[in-house]
Chains A and B, each alone.
Chain A
Amino acid sequence: MRTMKKAFSILLMLFFISLVGCAAINETLGLQESPEKMALRFTKTWNTEFDRTIRLVCSHLSINQQNLILAQVKDASLTDQAKTDLLVKNTNPNLTADQKKLINLRKDILTKSKPFIATYNSMVLSGGSISSLDETQIERLLEDLLTKYLIK
């Protein structure tokens, strides 16, 4: 009877140790990405890739000038037409055919992925239900930006 009690105690201890261990490993290695973390990663990646595309459009300008253009492109008080005109005016005249093609492809993916990410973000921020299908679609689109159409 005494041996059984001891064995039960040891089993209980092992159970608690494994519980703590699993939680710590998951947290440390980030094996389980929460929807919040996923939304943050999607949004940050999209923002970064948007910036990189704009920088490529006006790649002949200095970094400070590019930063100024980026600030204007994200200025909510300017109209889309004003932003388009600004970018057309500041487009690098020496862009190669490959670079132009890359900009077109990246613009297309940024445009296609934006509504998916916007929906995902609003679901995460409002606490709504999230579809794993949306996550997969966003992952695929962003992967194209980060691998197939990466700006080198």
Chain B
Amino acid sequence: MSPEILAFLISTTAFVIQEAKRAKMTAEEIKAQLGIDVDEFNRSNPGVIPSFPDT
């Protein structure tokens, strides 16, 4: 295998690993945001919305 191809494969592998790490970080960030939205969600009770039985 020529050195150029080897260099290409190494750099591509590094890129794939970097992308995988980035995707994992994003999932953690999403979870943090989800925690905030879930807090609001838990404080919202649709039962308090008035019902209109005569409609």
Which residues of A line the B interface, CB within 8 A?
A: 5, 9, 12-13, 16-17, 19-20, 23-24, 27, 34, 36-37, 39-40, 43-44, 46-47, 50, 53-54, 57, 73-76, 80, 83-84, 87-88, 91, 95, 97, 100-101, 103-104, 106-107, 110-111, 114, 117-118, 121, 124-125
A contact patch SS = helix
Q: Which residues of B contact A19 (CB under 8 A)?
A: 12, 16
A34, B9: Cα distance in complex, Å: 28
Nearest-neighbor residue (CB-CB) of A86 within chain B? B48
B contact patch SS = helix
Which residues of B line the A interface, CB within 8 A?
A: 1-2, 5, 8-9, 12-13, 15-16, 19, 23, 27, 30-31, 33-35, 37-38, 40-52, 55
